[in-house]
Amino acid sequence: MLRNINQPKLCNGTRLAVKKLMSSVVEATILTGPFKGEDVLIPRIPMIPTDMPFQFKRLQFPIRLAFAITINKTQGQSLELCGLDLDTDCFSHGQLYVACSRVGNIEINT
């Protein structure tokens, strides 16, 4: 989720699983937080860019497809399954701790 639509249910950063795509709404299930498992409808909302010399309006869904998220975005979330790509070094030892502490059950596969 990219925007706060219906706080505290639909806030920026809420992870969702899309169930159905329609022309004006997206039906999704909330994956995190106190409303986990609840089905929601996400409407297309008007976006008006402010960094252009002219004004225009477009309708967009305030969601972004994510197969992977950064370590910083996982902070405060609990994950059932997590894969870490450590080909490049972590910025600090704290980042590795945050990444590893998001998952309750540790199973190492190489």
pLDDT in tens, 12-59: 878 888 999 998 999 999 987 888 899 999 999 888 888 888 888 888
Contacts of 10 (CB under 8 A, 6+ apart): 1, 4, 30, 40, 42
pLDDT at 109: 61
pLDDT at 86: 75
Q: In sequence order, which ranges of 1-110 are alpha helices (DSSP H)? A: 71-74, 93-101
pTM listed for this prediction: 0.58
pLDDT at 108: 63
First-to-last alpha carbon distance for the chain, in angstroms, is 32
pLDDT at 89: 74
Phi, psi of 50 (to 5 degrees): -105, -10
Q: Judging by DSSP bridges, how do beta strands 39-43 and 25-30 pair with one another?
A: antiparallel
- Please tell me whether residue 3 adopts helix, strand or coil conformation: coil
List pLDDT tens digits, range 87-109: 777 767 677 777 777 776 666 66
List pLDDT tens digits, range 68-92: 777 776 666 677 777 777 777 776 7
